[in-house]
Chain A
Amino acid sequence: GQNIDQPTEMTATEGAIVQINCTYQTSGFNGLFWYQQHAGEAPTFLSYNVLDGLEEKGRFSSFLSRSKGYSYLLLKELQMKDSASYLCAAMDSNYQLIWGAGTKLIIKP
């Protein structure tokens, strides 16, 4: 079957760095997405990786290893507004997104 695993909840301190991991098993693979969802709001796009390696976008970076079925989202210089759920989604061979349950990130001052 198809499956996405990511931690349910993580806690980090303002100004610090946090890494949110995601492992996936899909029928075929056409890339991995990360979305951010603040409580009560719609998910918003953060990143897309289809090739191995690290993609950096400001304070956020996303990494992909296709051979390991593994990705992570790295958030630097954490701010209180980064408190949100982070959703990992892998695109299968039918270009359908398979979503993880999301990681709730709590930032403490």
Chain B
Amino acid sequence: KAGVTQTPRYLIKTRGQQVTLSCSPISGHRSVSWYQQTPGQGLQFLFEYFSETQRNKGNFPGRFSGRQFSNSRSEMNVSTLELGDSALYLCASSPGQGAVDEQFFGPGTRLTVL
């Protein structure tokens, strides 16, 4: 089974721009979660989608948004980029059937905001 894939792997943007990141979960997985990872901060939860609906949301400003398509692929959008948005963005998928699932992570997208 193919793992979780994320595109692009690296991105360089400037302040004020917007960016869209993509995540393809493991086949059959219906839940996709997004995290921001920065040194010393650990993983910060952004949101989780299940069957095209946002099921859970972290404490991030409205500039961060996401969506999930009928094939479970998910996109995350960040508008009006700030320097502090520079981070590794990780996507994780799980079957989503049970409340407690092991999450399978993708390699991440490293975003640099200049």
Contacts and interface: CB of A to CB of B under 8 A. Distances in A.
Contacts of A95: 56, 99-100
A75 B78 CA distance: 39
B102 A42 contact: no
Interface string B54-73: 00101000000000000000
B90 interface: yes
Q: Which interface class (under 10, 10 to 19, 20 to 34, 35 or more) fits A?
A: 20 to 34
Interface stretch (A11-19, A59-67, A99-107): A99-107
A60 B108 CA distance: 26
Contacts of A30: 99-100
Given A41-B107, A44-B105, A94-B56, A99 B43 contact: yes
Contacts of A89: 43
B42 A43 contact: no
Nearest to B38: A101
A50 B101 CA distance: 12
A97 B105 contact: no
A31 interface: yes
B103 interface: yes
Contacts of B97: none
Contact of B100 (A8, A48, A102): A48
Interface string A80-107: 0000000101010011111111100000
Contacts of B56: 94-96
Contact of A100 (B42, B45, B103, B105): B42
Given A87-B42, A100-B42, A101-B42, A42 B100 contact: no
